[in-house]
Amino acid sequence: MRTPPVLSSTLVLTAHGSVDPRSAAVTHAVAGRIRRLRPWLDVRAAFLEKCAPSLHDVLTETGNATVVPFLLADAYHARVDIPAVIDAVGASVRTAPVLGEDPALLSVAHLRLTEAGVSPYDDDLGVIVVAVGSSNATANARTSTVGPALADGTRWAGNKVAFATGPHADLAGTAAALRASGARRLVIVPWFLAHGRITDRVADFAARQDIPMAEPLGSHNLVAATVLDRFDDVAATRAAA
């Protein structure tokens, strides 16, 4: 078991929030996994909107906090919404980077594909990685690396990243492009942390197109470990300062 760091702070796992209860359930479940992995650490779940407790309220109650965005893309919520709440609270709060395209999360995505019956040796298969789109081109470019990284070492016929929202949303076009390039079968892997309204829309499309769909990343120890990696990076930088 790892020993507690000399400079400890509360880990505030901060999700966007959703009217869909499945989304908040995953955030709380991952927070629970983090507590089991590191029982001495104070871990709080918080949300930007639509769920309680709010990030504002949690930071108001917590004097020494590190916010870890429970987000995959380094886009508006991470760059604007979270800093705005921190500024409004006026407390000395550290912020970690988003989870991003971490290799541990790619491992979880592979697991979800395996659970859906996908073989890495299926050379007739086209894999569509569906993610949230952004108006931030840099964030989209980083997300677009997930497809090739996920396909590395496989024999799949092709892989593409499709955005379910934003100015570049084109799920139908992506499916057509993979079929045109020679994929006889398709599968969708959602690059999402949890189910919600967007994944439901993707699932509706998949059902209409008769395309199997894997589960989102969800609650997994590798997801919790990635959150802790972001938290530890901030703690190490603070200790070295």
SS3 of the chain: the string is CCCCCCCCCEEEEEECCCCCHHHHHHHHHHHHHHHHHCCCCCEEEEECCCCCCEHHHHHHHCCCEEEEECCCCCCHHHHHHHHHHHHHHCCCEEECCCCCCCHHHHHHHHHHHHHCCCCCCCCCEEEEEEECCCCCHHHHHHHCCHHHHHHCCCCCCEEEEEECCCCCECHHHHHHHHHHCCCCEEEEEECCCCCCHHHHHHHHHHHHHCCCECCCCCCCHHHHHHHHHHHHHHHHHHHHC
What are 156-211's pLDDT values in tens digits? 999 999 999 988 889 999 999 999 999 999 999 999 999 999 999 999 999 999 99
Tokens of residue 214, six digits: 């894997």
Tokens of residue 13, six digits: 């796992």
Percent of the chain past pLDDT 90, that is, above it, reads: 90
The pTM (predicted TM-score) of the whole model is 0.94
Which CATH number does the domain 10-100+219-240 belong to among 3.90.1150.10, 1.10.260.40, 2.30.130.30, 3.40.50.1400? 3.40.50.1400
Alpha-carbon span 34 to 31, nearest angstrom = 5
Q: What does the pLDDT read at residue 241?
A: 66
Q: Is the pLDDT reported for residue 239 higher than 70?
A: yes
Phi/psi for 131 (5° steps) reads -135, 170
> Could you tell me which of 189, 174, 187, 127 has the C-alpha nearest to residue 155?
127
CA dist., res. 11 & res. 66, Å (int): 5
Lowest-confidence range among 75-84, 121-130, 163-172, 219-228? 163-172
Q: pLDDT for 93-115, tens place per residue?
A: 999 999 999 999 999 999 999 99
Question: CB burial class (10 A; 0-12, 13-18, 19+) of residue 120?
Answer: middle
What pLDDT is recorded for position 63?
Answer: 79
Mean pLDDT calculated for residue range 63-82: 95
Length of the chain: 241
**Is pLDDT at 55 greater than 50 in this prediction?**
yes
> Which two three-digit tokens encode residue 188?
């969708």
Within this chain, domains 10-100+219-240 and 103-209 share the same CATH topology? yes
pLDDT value at residue 3? 45
pLDDT score of 6 more than 50 = no
Mean pLDDT of 5-9: 60
> What is the fold of 103-209?
Rossmann fold (3.40.50)
What pLDDT shows up at residue 1? 41
Cα of first residue to Cα of last residue in the chain, in angstroms, is 26
Domain limits of the chain? Answer: 10-100+219-240, 103-209
pLDDT tens-digit profile of 131-157?
Answer: 999 999 999 999 999 999 999 999 999
Is the pLDDT assigned to residue 240 strictly greater than 90?
no
